[in-house]
């Protein structure tokens, strides 16, 4: 599965969190990797309007993981999580500035 938008989103998130591609795609329960992946799910849906099925096929993960991860980010945003709000602000800025 290929998507230039999701490729770019993945690259920006991997660079921002200093992750290797193998870490990003590896099924891991390490907090920093899970957090980065959840942000990917959230932005792929809301920033790029990708369906959960498309996102799950892109990352080769269950559709339920996409839904759960995105919903977790939405709950954190609703609670006013300052770290997440700041991370999203910076990542969105990087996305609009072509990763720079």
**CB neighbours of residue 76 within 10 Å:** 17
Burial class (CB in 10 A: 0-12, 13-18, 19+), 36: buried
What pLDDT shows up at residue 97? 83
Q: What digits encode the pLDDT tens for the residues 34-79?
A: 899 999 999 999 999 999 999 999 888 889 999 999 999 999 999 9
> Treating both helix axes as pointing N-terminal to C-terminal, what angle do 52-59 and 63-78 enclose, rounded to 10 degrees?
110
**CB of 73 closer than 8 Å to CB of 39:** yes
Q: How far apart are CA 42 and CA 69, in angstroms?
A: 7
What's residue 1's pLDDT? 59
Summarize pLDDT for 3-22 with one digit per residue, the tens: 889 999 999 999 999 988 77
């Amino acid at each position: 599965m290929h998507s230039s938008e999701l490729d770019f989103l993945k690259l920006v998130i991997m660079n921002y969190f200093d992750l290797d591609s193998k870490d990003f795609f590896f099924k891991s329960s390490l907090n920093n990797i899970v957090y980065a992946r959840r942000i990917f799910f959230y932005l792929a849906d809301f920033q790029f309007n990708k369906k959960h099925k498309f996102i799950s096929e892109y990352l080769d993960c269950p559709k339920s993981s996409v839904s759960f991860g995105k919903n977790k980010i939405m709950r954190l945003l609703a609670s006013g999580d300052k770290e997440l709000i700041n991370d999203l602000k910076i990542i969105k800025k990087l996305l609009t500035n072509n990763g720079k």
